[in-house]
Amino acid sequence: MNRVFVTGLGAVTPIGIGIEEFGRSLRAGKSGVCPISCFDASKHSVRIAGEVKNFDPAPYITKKDIRRHDRYSQFAMAASHMAIQQAGLVPGAYDPKRVGVIISTGIGGIHTYEEEFKVISQQGPRRVSPFLVPMMICNIAAGYVAIAHGFKGPNFCIVSACASGLHGIGEGYLKLVHGMIDICVTGGSEAAIISLNIAGFAQMKALSTRNDAPEKASRPFDKDRDGFVMGEGAGVLILETEASMNRRGAKPLAEVIGYGASADAHHLTAPCPDGEGAYQAMTDALEFSKTPKESVNYVNAHGTSTHLGDVAETIALKRVFGDHAKKLMVNSTKSMIGHLLGAAGTVGAVATVIQMTGGFVHPTINLDCPGEGLDLDYVPNTARNAQIEAGLVNSFGFGGQNACVVFRKA
Q: What is the set of active-site residues?
A: 162, 302, 339
How many whole angstroms from its chain centre is CA 183?
A: 20
Q: How many Å apart are CA 17 and CA 39, to the nearest integer?
A: 22
Strand ranges for 166-297 from DSSP E: 183-190, 233-241, 254-263
Contacts of 376 (CB under 8 A, 6+ apart): 314, 317, 318, 325, 326, 328, 330
Give CA–CA dist 318/175, Å, rounded.
31
The region, left, alpha or beta by phi > 0 then psi within -120 to 50, assigned to residue 161 is left
Residue of 324, 335, 341, 339 whose CA lies nearest to 390: 324
Q: How many CB atoms lie within 10 A of CB 112?
A: 25
Q: Report the distance separating Cα 402 and Cα 46, nearest Å.
A: 27
Where do the DSSP E strands lie in 85-136? 99-104
What is the sign of the dihedral through the CA atoms of 198, 199, 200 and 205? positive
DSSP for 316-380 reads HHHHHHGGGGGG-EEE-THHHH-B-GGGHHHHHHHHHHHHHHHTEE--BTT-SSBPTT--SB--B
Strands 254-263 and 298-300, sheet pairing? unpaired
Short-list 241, 237, 235, 236, CA closest to 95: 241
* Single-letter residue type at 265: A
Task: Count CB atoms within 10 A of the CB of residue 402.
Answer: 32
